[in-house]
A and B are shown apart, each in its own frame.
Chain A
Amino acid sequence: QSALTQPRSLSGSPGQSVTISCTGTSSDVGSYNYVSWYQQHPGEAPKFMIYDVNKRPSGVPDRFSGFKSGNTASLTISGLQAEDEADYYCCSYAGSYVVFGGGTKLTVL
């Protein structure tokens, strides 16, 4: 199986909104509403931000939202803040296994 496709990098200014795309196939993203997103700061373990396409775990700000259409999922961060600068990974269930995206480095200008 191949990794899900994400843009390598994105940037935005404080207060702006950014959207990170995650493209898979009909065997993973397109077939299941089990897409999750993770935020990872340097030197830290990933943090769980979104699951089931658009649900937020307790404690995650509502500035983070998820969406899916067809084989592509997306994460939107509204009201960008300096602490949002991090790597972001999407993840999809694919039947008997799980596949991650290659990661997107988000820079807050």
Chain B
Amino acid sequence: QVQLQQWGAGLLKPSETLSLTCAVYGGPFSGSLRDYYWSWIRQPPGKGLEWIGEINHSGSANYNPSLKSRVTISIDTSRNQFSLTLNSVTAADTAMYYCASRVVPAAVGLWGQGTLVTVSS
């Protein structure tokens, strides 16, 4: 059974870089999990979900057009981990950040536990 476990800094100052990592347990990226896409999704407090982007095992990534200029999603197949980097954060980036996975397009079947990231001076 595939499980996701995420971690990263929870408090940032404006203009700093957000960095989160998600470890995947339950199979190798390039083996039994090769058909998965690995996603990042966020949810500001009291608000709705926002898709940030996703990456597959070969490193091909897609991003939300509204965040594309500040976002990088990378994958480390040797460690079965994928990561999110968001540059130049502001208070508007304060949110619960989830790592997640899907096989079918737009069908996010598995979610990490979430990491609350607060941006405050």
**In the complex, which residues of chain B have a beta carbon less than 8 angstroms from the beta carbon of A57?**
109
- Size category of the binding interface on chain B: 20 to 34
CB-defined interface of A38-53 with B at 8 Å, one 1/0 digit per residue? Answer: 1000000110100110
In residues 37-86 of chain A, which contact B (Cβ within 8 Å)? 38, 45-46, 48, 51-52, 57
Scoring A45, A100, A103 by chain B CB atoms within 10 A of each residue's CB, the highest score goes to A45
- Interface pair A52/B107, CB less than 8 Å apart: yes
User: CB within 8 A of B51: which of A32, A45, A99, A102?
Assistant: A99
Tell me if B64 counts as interface (CB < 8 A to partner A).
yes
**In the complex, which residues of chain A have a beta carbon less than 8 angstroms from the beta carbon of B3?**
none
Scoring A3, A89, A97 by chain B CB atoms within 10 A of each residue's CB, the highest score goes to A97
Tell me if A10 counts as interface (CB < 8 A to partner B).
no
- Interface pair A48/B109, CB less than 8 Å apart: yes
Least Cβ distance of A88 to chain B in Å?
11
In residues 75-121 of chain B, which contact A (Cβ within 8 Å)? 98, 104-114
- Interface pair A48/B51, CB less than 8 Å apart: no
- Interface pair B49/A38, CB less than 8 Å apart: yes
- Interface pair A46/B107, CB less than 8 Å apart: no
Least Cβ distance of B24 to chain A in Å?
16
- Interface pair B105/A46, CB less than 8 Å apart: no
Chain B residues engaging chain A, CB cutoff 8 angstroms: 39, 41, 47-51, 53-54, 62-66, 98, 104-114
A-B contact pairs, 6 of them (CB 8 A): A38-B49, A91-B51, A98-B64, A98-B106, A101-B48, A103-B48
Beyond known contacts A51-B107, A100-B49: 7 more, CB 8 A cutoff: A34-B104, A46-B108, A48-B107, A52-B104, A91-B106, A91-B108, A92-B106
Chain A residues engaging chain B, CB cutoff 8 angstroms: 1, 3, 32, 34-36, 38, 45-46, 48, 51-52, 57, 89, 91-93, 96-103
